[in-house]
Amino acid sequence: MTDRESLKRLRIPDTEQPLRILMSACLSGIRCGYDGTANGEYPAALKLLEYDTVKIFNFCPEEFSFGSPREMCDIYGGTGFDVLDGRARVLTESGVDWTEGMLRASEKMLEIARREKIELALMMDISAACGSQVIYDGNRFAENKVYRAGAGVCAAQLLRNGFNVISQRDYASLEILYNKLDPAHVIDETKTDHHETDWYRSYFG
Ligand code: SF4
């Protein structure tokens, strides 16, 4: 996850030189989710599409490697960083090992981020690929599903390589971003990021 001070250091863009944001494609409403949907609607992320001072690059890493629709997958034995380091695996709900495909997808996402000179990535939290604050610890369809604090594989790849990553639930960070994109936007100081919510604090302690 990227801290808010880093976001404050982002430049102020204009229509000539818009801020370059890499976005989980489903957050833009593209139906690339495992079940062929856009994984719901997230107005705080969709709001970015309204600005003419931003250039959005949409990418779905799981669709890149596995197509849509597809099985659901989760990380077993660690976070996305552990997958990058060979200490954890990505398995589908039926037990197929998708680790190699997920690593390829993360490398493709990194390639796009570098090629397009991305300044920020906005990614769907709680995904094995795109999560940046929270992921599942093993099978999300298990009776006693367990969450783990940490990043998915593709978010970890971007973070490890120096890119800023926030999630669609990081509302305080998004307020800073809206203000960058439109200086007339008054930052709502009451908003919080995902790791500051009551749920996150009570669950992870
Ligand atoms: S892999 Fe990422 S972009 Fe694709 S559906 Fe899942 S959360 Fe969205």
Q: Where is 149: in which H helix or E strand? A: strand 147-149
pTM exceeding 0.95? yes
**What are the DSSP E strand ranges found in 16-145?**
19-24, 54-59, 73-76, 89-92, 120-123, 134-136
Give nearest CA residue, ligand 1 atom 8.
26
Whichever domain contains 191, its CATH number is 3.40.50
Rounded average pLDDT over 75-97: 97
Looking at the domain assignment, is residue 142 inside a domain?
no
Distance, CA of 105 to CA of 67 (rounded, Å): 11
Is the minimum distance from the CB of 154 to ligand 1 under 6 angstroms? no
Query: Please, which residues have CB within 8 angstroms of residue 143's CB and are 6 or more apart in sequence?
Result: none
Looking at the domain assignment, is residue 87 inside a domain?
no
pLDDT score recorded for residue 129: 98
pLDDT exceeds cutoff 90 at 56: yes
Looking at the domain assignment, is residue 94 inside a domain?
no
Looking at the domain assignment, is residue 52 inside a domain?
yes
pLDDT score recorded for residue 205: 87
pLDDT exceeds cutoff 80 at 48: yes
182-202 pLDDT, tens per residue? 999 999 999 999 999 999 999
pLDDT band of residue 34 (cuts 50, 70, 90) is very high
pLDDT score recorded for residue 180: 97
118-163 pLDDT, tens per residue? 999 999 999 999 999 999 999 999 989 999 999 999 999 999 999 9
Looking at the domain assignment, is residue 83 inside a domain?
no
Looking at the domain assignment, is residue 98 inside a domain?
no
Give nearest CA residue, ligand 1 atom 5.
33
pLDDT exceeds cutoff 90 at 70: yes
Q: Are 3 and 9 in contact (CB under 8 A)?
A: no
Of 1-5, 43-47, 70-74, 141-145, least confident by mean pLDDT is 1-5
pLDDT exceeds cutoff 90 at 168: yes
Cα(155) to ligand 1 centroid in Å equals: 11
Pocket test for ligand 1, best of 109, 127, 154 (most atoms within 8 A of CB): 127
pLDDT exceeds cutoff 80 at 1: no
| Mean confidence (pLDDT) of the chain | 97
Looking at the domain assignment, is residue 121 inside a domain?
yes
pLDDT score recorded for residue 2: 82
- Domain count for the chain, please give it: 1
pLDDT score recorded for residue 5: 93
The range of the structural domain enclosing residue 119 comes to: 4-68+105-127+153-204
Looking at the domain assignment, is residue 74 inside a domain?
no
